[in-house]
Amino acid sequence: MTAHRGLFVTIDGPGGAGKSSTTRLLHHRLTSQGYAVHTTTEPSHDQLGEIARHGTDTYSGHALACLVAADRYHHLATEIRPQLAAGKIVLCDRYVASSYVLQRMDGVPIDFIEALNAAADIPDVAVILTVDPKVTARRIHERGAHSRFEAGITTSRMEAELYADTTHRLTRRNYPILAIDTTKCATEQVVDMIVQRIAQLTASPPDESHTA
């Protein structure tokens, strides 16, 4: 397959929506089709990201929001942008949409979150997985909670409401949202839809920049 320009694809959604499974299968599907793919996650596995990822019981509110944003900008500069410049499709498990949701669940005003993330690059495809809160609550119960943000049906409902609002807010900022309901949709079907969008974009003329 001929080389394509780099594409930045982010995957967000409530806990239990299937982000990690979707990202893994999407990576496999794209590489099997001959695309050069780099998969990453936020918080990143760099020093700042590890503090943010494992410090949710120590840090909260504005402090945690700043940690996550600082890791994001470092992640963009040192990993994401270089991989895009090399012509790769970069898949990122969680990005700005997650901050709009999780930091608000942590009591941080949306204006503060928007300002913190205003200079973050806009993806080429911003996938937001939606799902019935009862389904995510059940999935989280079965696999176990990853953080204090996953605390049963109450937090699952709150996440669902905030992701709906976040989709609206990011669309106004020209984010190319691809919302997919995973309540009754198999991971393979979700990946099919994302691959279709990527194929459309790789056939299009490249943009001048990935930056906001």
What confidence tier does 143 reach under pLDDT thresholds 50, 70, 90? low
Query: Percent of the chain at pLDDT above 70?
Result: 85
pLDDT digits (tens, 9 = 90+) for 67-97: 999 999 999 999 999 999 999 999 999 999 9
Cα separation of 64 and 106, whole Å? 9
The predicted structure's pLDDT at residue 31: 96
Per-residue pLDDT for 209 more than 50?
Answer: no
What's the residue count for the chain?
212
The predicted structure's pLDDT at residue 39: 98
Query: Percent of the chain at pLDDT above 90?
Result: 68
The predicted structure's pLDDT at residue 160: 87
Domains (range + CATH), the chain? 7-202 (3.40.50.300)
Tokens 């992701």 correspond to 163
What confidence tier does 149 reach under pLDDT thresholds 50, 70, 90? low
CB 130 within 8 A of CB 181: yes
Cα separation of 28 and 22, whole Å? 10
pLDDT digits (tens, 9 = 90+) for 168-192: 999 999 999 999 998 888 999 999 9
Task: Copy the structure tokens of residue 81.
Answer: 């942008």
Per-residue pLDDT for 116 more than 90?
Answer: yes
The backbone torsions φ and ψ at residue 100, rounded to the nearest 5 degrees and listed phi first, read -60, -30
CA 157 to chain centre: 19
pLDDT digits (tens, 9 = 90+) for 36-68: 999 999 999 999 999 999 998 899 999 999 999
What confidence tier does 147 reach under pLDDT thresholds 50, 70, 90? low
The predicted structure's pLDDT at residue 139: 67
The predicted structure's pLDDT at residue 208: 47
The predicted structure's pLDDT at residue 198: 95
The predicted structure's pLDDT at residue 1: 42
